[in-house]
Amino acid sequence: MTADGSSLPHRVRRVLAIRPFRRLWGVTFLCSTADWLALLGVADLVANAAGSYTAKNFAFSGVVFSNLLPGLLFAPVGGLLADRFDRRAVMVVGDVLRCCLLLSIVVVDVPWWPFAGSFLASSVAMLWIPAKDAAVPNLLRRPDQVETANQLGLVMTYGITVVAAGGLYALTGVGPSLRLPDDLLGANGSVKLALALAAVFYLGSAFTVARRIPELSERVVARRAADGEPGGGFTAMVRDVGRFVRTTPLVRGLIIGAVGAFAAGGAVVGSAQSYAKSVLAGQAGFGLLFAAVFVGLSVGIVSAPKLAARVSHERFFGLAIVLAGFSLVLVALSPHLFVSLVAVVLVGASAGATFLTGVTIIGSQVADDVRGRVNAIYQALLKVVLGGALALVPLLIGLTRQRTFTVFGHDVVVDGTRPVLLGAAVLACGAGVLAYRQMNGRRAGRMFAVARTAVRRRPVRATGFVVTVEGSPSADTAAHAADLADWLQRSGTGTVVLAADPGWGDPRLQTLLSGASVTTARARVLAAAAVRADIVEREVRPALESGAIVVIERLIDSPLEQDGTGLDLEELAGVAEWTVGRLRPDFTILLDHGADEPSPTADAWDRRIRRLLRDLSTTARCVVVETADHDAGRAQIRAAMATALARIATPEAAEEPGPVDRDRRTGTHPDF
């Protein structure tokens, strides 16, 4: 069970009920299966072409390295393409190019071309992946579905398709078993058949993306058309994402943690074979350790949402990295294979939870216009740091002379793997703590206390449904909030609670202001925030725990309105977030009557608030009401609300978006 009380199968069904995502999941199957087939086939071709036994053994690792290297060279370019151009077009072109490259490996009979073709295909993949990953959140109905979607993607990429590719590759090589003539398919005929099949899969992916998933590009096109912004040049986009990383603690902490986590993972993989010998387990032990890592990865991917429901994703990300570090200490000090296997499972589980939480944070909390580049940085770090660790670890291990000690009657071999793993553990723990502090700031809290919360306490998220009515200073949010609450109550949707905005006429606020003689703008904002926090804790949260629908007037922009003129907008937004704790809207109604053509004479403060509201509202499903006519706006709100509630109640029956909701699948208006 997760924070919203739903089980994993239920969440999976709800996500797969979304037709565009389901089709993209099918595309992931085609491309990932083709990737694994290409890896196996190219490695086989290289091994067959090699002359010596040593060269044959190097074939597979050489092909793997040629697939990792493009992460350093081309992942940043892929992020730029994903944020500048139509993501669907980027994916289609990438699939067609990969199809052509694999077919060229089949046709061109040159010994070095399989290496070169594989490298180029992997380079194109690094242009394709950021576009796909950045588009996934735009296909979902709710922000909390990002985590489940990422789970499905990882299971498909590293589980289902691995088995499918292995089975298909085995089927293409049954010729000798069936005693078919050797010249039936020519030299390396079965391998080339597997590569040709992979090329067909890429072509099928291109067709599906181009003809069956137009939603991949709808939001990007709509946004740029609305903003009138071409996106700037590539140099400007590089500077923009660099500035974004430097000035955003969330992303900065994510990158710091990722470096530590991936380096620790590379140390485990790079030292596994030598480590198996140090615990006197030999090749059999190496196989068990290898399997333990993947068992742990599966456990971490499955269990991460349950634990992350009890603490924020930002906190859980750092905790998972620190847990990986402590688990590595156990691996480094382990005297017996059994202890090592348990510790390696913990390392794998922590790594799986870390990776899933990282991509979930990017998908749910990073703005769409930079999400492709941040995704590319994250993916590049995975490949570059992991590849660098794999290359460096054997060298470090060779610097330490092997010694044998007796511990409790058992011989323990201490070689270079032990200090390398301890060093990786220290690196992981340090990176985890830094990431935790960066991503949570002053709200970090003590890590051990937060860890106990993740293990023991109930989920903190409510089970009800939150609707917030936001608006620019001139918008009549009170009338629309009251009208919506009344309509929901009369519609028989269950218990409905209206939480009104504590405006300056609110008796509680007036008592607080007069009793404390509060007169300055900053103090008045904090007083209004105190009243709002009291409303949230005493009225809103209990209603949500009982499963009610809560309509909240000005959840986000109340502190901006309470005489905040002249104060820093980012500080006021921070006050708004701190006031409501972890409460997030499930559906947002944004009243922006001047959204199309802001008057040049409009108040500057009004325009700044409207821009901030547009940015903040991208975190939830949102409908923008641009008309000042109350009746027309009311009809638009009711239609959008009915569609949202219908999807939540019966997702299977609501695969196709309605006319009001067609461009708002992700909880964001296309104008954003």
- Secondary structure of 513-539 in the HEC alphabet? HHHHCCCCHHHHHHHHHHHHHHHHHHH
CA distance 349 to 320: 9
| Contact indicator for 404, 413 with CB cutoff of 8 Å | yes
Q: What is the mean pLDDT of residues 4-15?
A: 76
Q: What is the mean pLDDT of residues 227-256?
A: 72
pLDDT above 70 coverage of the chain, percent: 70
Q: Tell me how far CA of residue 64 lies from CA of 38, 70, 77, 664, in angstroms.
A: 11, 11, 21, 40
- Which amino acid makes up residue 413? V
Range of lowest pLDDT (332-336, 498-502, 504-508): 504-508
Range of lowest pLDDT (123-127, 234-238, 436-440): 234-238
Q: Is the pLDDT of residue 583 over 70?
A: yes
SS3 assignment, position 151: helix
Which of 165, 153, 171, 126 has the alpha carbon at shortest distance from 27? 153
Q: What is the mean pLDDT of residues 85-93?
A: 92
Interacting residues of 264 by C-beta distance below 8 A, sequence separation 6+: 321, 324, 325, 328, 347, 351, 424, 425, 427, 428
pLDDT for the residue numbered 612: 55
Q: What is the mean pLDDT of residues 540-568?
A: 68
| Contact indicator for 485, 496 with CB cutoff of 8 Å | yes
Q: Is the pLDDT of residue 443 over 60?
A: no
pLDDT for the residue numbered 407: 61
Residue with the bigger pLDDT between 200 and 368: it is 200
CA distance 269 to 272: 5
Residue with the bigger pLDDT between 368 and 50: it is 368
- CA 147, 152, 158, 163: dihedral to nearest 10 degrees? 170
Q: What is the mean pLDDT of residues 493-502?
A: 77
Q: What is the mean pLDDT of residues 219-235?
A: 46
Q: Is the pLDDT of residue 230 over 50?
A: no
Give bridge partners of residue 498 from the DSSP assignment. 551
CA distance 399 to 425: 19
Q: Is the pLDDT of residue 417 over 70?
A: yes
Q: Is the pLDDT of residue 5 over 80?
A: no
pLDDT for the residue numbered 671: 28
Give bridge partners of residue 624 from the DSSP assignment. 590
3-state helix, strand, coil in the chain (%, to 5): 70, 5, 25
pLDDT for the residue numbered 516: 64
Range of lowest pLDDT (173-182, 252-261, 300-309, 494-503): 173-182
CA distance 139 to 216: 7
pLDDT for the residue numbered 54: 54
pLDDT for the residue numbered 590: 81
pLDDT for the residue numbered 507: 65
Residue whose pair of structure tokens reads 């590569």 in the numeric block: 195
- State pLDDT tens for residues 512-547: 666 666 667 777 777 777 777 777 877 887 787 777
Q: Is the pLDDT of residue 52 over 80?
A: no
Please provide the average confidence, as pLDDT, over all residues in the chain.
76
Tokens in use for 467?
Answer: 């609707």
CA distance 4 to 305: 11
CA distance 77 to 635: 45
pLDDT for the residue numbered 665: 31
Q: What is the mean pLDDT of residues 461-465?
A: 62
Which of 478, 485, 457, 480 has the alpha carbon at shortest distance from 543? 485
| Contact indicator for 321, 356 with CB cutoff of 8 Å | no
Q: Is the pLDDT of residue 53 over 80?
A: no
Q: What is the mean pLDDT of residues 308-336?
A: 85
pTM over 0.75: no
Tokens in use for 434?
Answer: 């830094």
Q: What is the mean pLDDT of residues 617-630?
A: 70
Q: What is the mean pLDDT of residues 104-118?
A: 86
Q: Is the pLDDT of residue 563 over 70?
A: no
pLDDT for the residue numbered 462: 46
Q: Is the pLDDT of residue 224 over 50?
A: no
pLDDT for the residue numbered 372: 84
Helix (H) or strand (E) holding 111, with range, is none
CA distance 151 to 157: 10
pLDDT for the residue numbered 29: 96
pLDDT for the residue numbered 212: 92
Q: What is the mean pLDDT of residues 386-409?
A: 73
| Contact indicator for 576, 583 with CB cutoff of 8 Å | no
Range of lowest pLDDT (22-26, 107-111, 508-512): 508-512
Q: How many CB atoms lie within 10 A of CB 324?
A: 31
